[in-house]
């Protein structure tokens, strides 16, 4: 594994609900023998098992608490505590403030709080949070999604991967993505002219909370990313349309985060 410093497997990239053949947002980032489940959108726990069992994960990282990015934490909890998995210790889980209570609020069915902390060792993210997961260095930045939300940079062996999470274009994401080898950037919004449905309610009238494909390309260009993967493409566009629109604003290679695809960074 050490000859492969950084690898991205796309577990799913659909929004805001899974397709028959594409779960919601979720990725497995691995390198040097360490494995991090990045976003746990609906359906990604199933796809994850093509690569790793829950007890083989070194950490979970959650960008924000919209269901299409975290809902499979609920069934992962059942897997971790009430099935065939025997965790040596709770799985380190990095997520927005309030993550543990949000899980417990859903999972608890009696007067006794479900033991979320037995499945997950939760650390709340803050802007600039850094942690090492084995050979992987993780840096989180607060981004602009109308709610607590984070982007992630993973570095190992001199290579770097940046994931936008969900966000409008913002300086924090561009800074985080500076000179990265691969930018995995959402492109949910078809643009203000689109009559298509929104993925999520906007926090206020006209407040942008997502990238358009053009903005994903512009963010990649501004950050001098080597390569762009568009993901979380809204249903008002096809992935091919999103790639073409992004590529008009970024000179480097652009592709879509197809479910099941893997990329060596």
Identify the bridge partners of residue 209 per DSSP, sorted by sequence position.
none
By C-alpha distance, which of 167, 209, 159, 158 is closest to 186?
167
- Our CB check for Zn ion shows the closer of 7 and 66 to be 66
What string marks each residue from 63 to 82 as x (binds Zn ion by CB under 5 A) or -?
A: ---x----------------
By C-alpha distance, which of 152, 180, 185, 154 is closest to 168?
185
What string marks each residue from 24 to 63 as x (binds Zn ion by CB under 5 A) or -?
A: ----------------------------------------
Helix (H/G/I), strand (E/B), else coil: 115 = coil
- Our CB check for Zn ion shows the closer of 66 and 245 to be 66
Q: Which two tokens stand for residue 65?
A: 């608490």
Q: Which stretch binds Zn ion (CB under 5 A): 94-102, 114-122, 162-170, 186-194?
A: 162-170
Q: Which two tokens stand for residue 253?
A: 């290679």
By C-alpha distance, which of 105, 97, 75 is closest to 150?
97
Residues 6+ apart with CB under 8 A from 82: none
Whole-number minimum distance, CB 111 to Zn ion, in Å?
32
Site for Zn ion in 170-189 (CB under 5 A): none
Whole-number minimum distance, CB 70 to Zn ion, in Å?
10
Whole-number minimum distance, CB 94 to Zn ion, in Å?
17
- Our CB check for Zn ion shows the closer of 63 and 114 to be 63
- Our CB check for Zn ion shows the closer of 144 and 166 to be 166
Report which DSSP code applies to 14.
B
Q: Which stretch binds Zn ion (CB under 5 A): 54-62, 71-79, 124-132, 163-171?
A: 163-171
Runs of H (alpha helix) within the chain:
44-48, 67-70, 72-82, 99-107, 116-119, 171-176, 213-223, 239-247
- Our CB check for Zn ion shows the closer of 15 and 114 to be 15
Query: According to CB under 5 A, which one of 39, 144, 166, 214 is a site residue for Zn ion?
Result: 166
Task: Give rounded-to-5 percent helix, strand, coil for the chain.
Answer: 25, 30, 50
Residue 214 engages Zn ion in binding (rule: CB under 5 A): no
By C-alpha distance, which of 62, 35, 17, 49 is closest to 232?
17
How far apart are the C-alpha atoms of 249 and 255, rounded to whole Å?
13
- Our CB check for Zn ion shows the closer of 98 and 253 to be 98
Whole-number minimum distance, CB 166 to Zn ion, in Å?
4
Whole-number minimum distance, CB 1 to Zn ion, in Å?
32
Binding site for Zn ion (CB under 5 A): 66, 166
């Amino acid at each position: 594994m050490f000859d492969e410093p950084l690898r991205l497997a796309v577990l799913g990239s659909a929004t805001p609900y899974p397709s028959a053949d594409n779960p919601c947002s979720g990725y497995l980032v691995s390198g040097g023998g360490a494995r991090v489940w990045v976003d746990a959108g609906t359906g990604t726990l199933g796809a994850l098992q093509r690569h790793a069992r829950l007890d083989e994960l070194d950490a979970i990282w959650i960008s924000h608490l919209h269901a299409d990015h975290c809902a499979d934490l609920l069934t992962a909890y059942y897997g971790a505590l009430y099935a065939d998995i025997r965790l040596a210790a709770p799985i380190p889980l990095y997520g927005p403030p309030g993550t543990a209570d949000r899980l417990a609020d859903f999972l608890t069915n009696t007067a006794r709080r479900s033991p979320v902390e037995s499945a997950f060792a939760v650390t709340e993210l803050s802007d600039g949070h850094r942690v090492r997961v084995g050979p992987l260095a993780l840096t989180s930045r607060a981004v602009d999604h109308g709610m607590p939300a984070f982007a992630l940079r993973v570095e190992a062996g001199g290579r770097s991967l940046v994931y936008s999470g969900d966000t409008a274009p913002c300086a924090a994401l561009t800074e985080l993505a500076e000179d990265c080898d691969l930018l995995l950037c959402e492109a949910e919004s078809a643009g203000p002219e689109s009559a298509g449905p929104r993925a999520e309610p906007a926090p206020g009238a006209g407040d942008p909370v997502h990238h358009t494909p053009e903005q994903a390309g512009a963010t990649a260009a501004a950050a001098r990313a080597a390569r762009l993967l568009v993901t979380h493409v809204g249903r008002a566009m096809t992935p091919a349309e999103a790639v073409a629109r992004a590529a008009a604003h970024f000179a480097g290679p652009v592709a879509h985060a197809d479910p099941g695809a893997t990329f060596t960074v």
